[in-house]
A and B are shown apart, each in its own frame.
Chain A
Amino acid sequence: MNDRECAGRLIASTTHELRNVLAVLRETSGLAQDLLACGTPACLEKLPKALTEAGRSVDRISALADSLDWLAQGALGQDETECDLGAAAQAFCRMMARKGKACGITFDNMPPASPPVLTPMNAFAIQLALMDVFDVCEAAGGGVVISMAAGLRDKSSGLTLEARPQSGEQCAALEKLAEFPALTPLPPRWTDRLSLGKTIKRRFWLPLAAARPASIPAESMAECKE
């Protein structure tokens, strides 16, 4: 996958999400107008809820705009040498949320690490690395929930990826992630080990400190139904 394709996919998913959230905003703000025009006590009682929902939509749109800004900065600042890994990963999760939903891939949103984990990588290169992980899950049919946390291992920056099946049962995406050369399997947390040996959560380390990790061949990718 080249940079242009990666950017196109990120923008397509974000645009779709933006349109959906704008539709929610249009309806909730429209409902607020309708309730005001109605004017009865019963209508006015519903007004705060409609306005709260409208505000929530504005927050979602703002977060998507921030993510697009990340993408733009990464694409423009090819020579920049440091990037906040947690923020870059969060931007990816937000931008790919809509496409992920259609393909059965859910991202658990995480707050950026504090203090930030800086990596000597361009923000766009991080998006490329995460897109490869996304493609592995998509090719395996999805059905997976992924959470990410920025951190350091052996003084090198990267992301800890935690993957679990959406339905509570084993899924092919977990196995494919385990075989993906860019990821290093990590031992389960001690809290997960206590769950009577039925741990189906898998943890991986994605090093993001230098060149782009090895990618899987494009021809093995399954396209999500449009």
Chain B
Amino acid sequence: MRQNAIKILLVDDETQFVDTLAERLDMRGFKAEVAYNGTEALEKVRRDAPDVVVLDLRMPGMDGFEVLKQIKKINQQVQVIILTGHGGDQEAVIAGRHGAYSFLRKPADIDTLLDSIRMAYRDKVENAFVAASMAEAGDFASAQEVLAEKDLLRGE
């Protein structure tokens, strides 16, 4: 997997944190855009959808859950990883219910975050392949469900 093929968007109101994280990802061959609030993040998702969004939960203005819901409305294939200093187990469950790929607590190790980003991207690409083969076979409904990340086996 080419690392710089993954389009990453980092969303956090802690500017020092998000800028430094972007710089460290850059040194590892990952290009990451940054947004300092929810509104800015949604504009960037609409303009050029990233593959993976790393999203803080509690931010001034629009909070992370609302941003997550809006991102999924704009583009269901965007994978969202929650990285927060606030959340407990309950927040993790809510985030999962709204379609978050994973839930990490600050301070997270950069390798843990990168593993999560790689896995999220891999799943996104796999979903696209599965959906394409289903569509080729004429099963458009299932293809759409795969793209919407619905688990066909569990019937969700």
The interface of chain A, by Cβ under 8 A from chain B, is 15-20, 22-28, 30-31, 34, 38, 50, 53, 98, 101-102, 104, 225-226
Contacts and interface: CB of A to CB of B under 8 A. Distances in A.
B27 A23 contact: no
Contact of A16 (B13, B24, B86): B86
B29 interface: no
A104 B24 CA distance: 31
A31 B23 contact: yes
B60 A104 contact: yes
B16 A53 contact: yes
Given A16-B85, A16-B86, A101-B60, 15 more contacts: A19-B85, A19-B105, A23-B106, A23-B107, A24-B14, A27-B20, A27-B21, A27-B110, A30-B110, A31-B20, A31-B24, A50-B20, A53-B16, A102-B59, A104-B60
Given A101-B60, A102-B58, A22 B106 contact: yes
Interface string B24-47: 100100000000000000000000
A24 B63 contact: no
Contacts of A53: 16, 20
B14 A23 contact: yes
B18 to A, nearest CB: 9
B5 interface: no
B29 to A, nearest CB: 12
Nearest to B90: A226
Interface residues of B, number: 22
Interface in B93-130: 105-110
B91 interface: yes
Interface of B: 13-14, 16-17, 20-21, 23-24, 27, 58-60, 63, 85-86, 91, 105-110
26 contacts: A19-B107, A20-B14, A20-B17, A20-B85, A20-B106, A22-B107, A23-B14, A23-B85, A23-B106, A23-B108, A24-B14, A24-B17, A27-B20, A27-B24, A27-B110, A28-B16, A30-B20, A31-B23, A31-B24, A98-B58, A101-B13, A101-B60, A102-B60, A102-B63, A225-B63, A226-B63
Contacts of A50: 20
Nearest to A33: B24
B86 to A, nearest CB: 5
Contact of A19 (B13, B63, B106, B109): B106
A127 B73 CA distance: 42
B115 to A, nearest CB: 15
Contacts of B108: 23, 26
Closest 8 CB pairs of A and B: A19-B85, A23-B106, A27-B20, A23-B107, A26-B107, A22-B107, A20-B85, A19-B106
A100 to B, nearest CB: 10
Contact of B24 (A22, A30, A98, A102): A30
B91 A226 contact: yes
Nearest to A166: B60
Nearest to B27: A34
A28 B20 contact: yes
A40 to B, nearest CB: 11
A26 B24 CA distance: 11
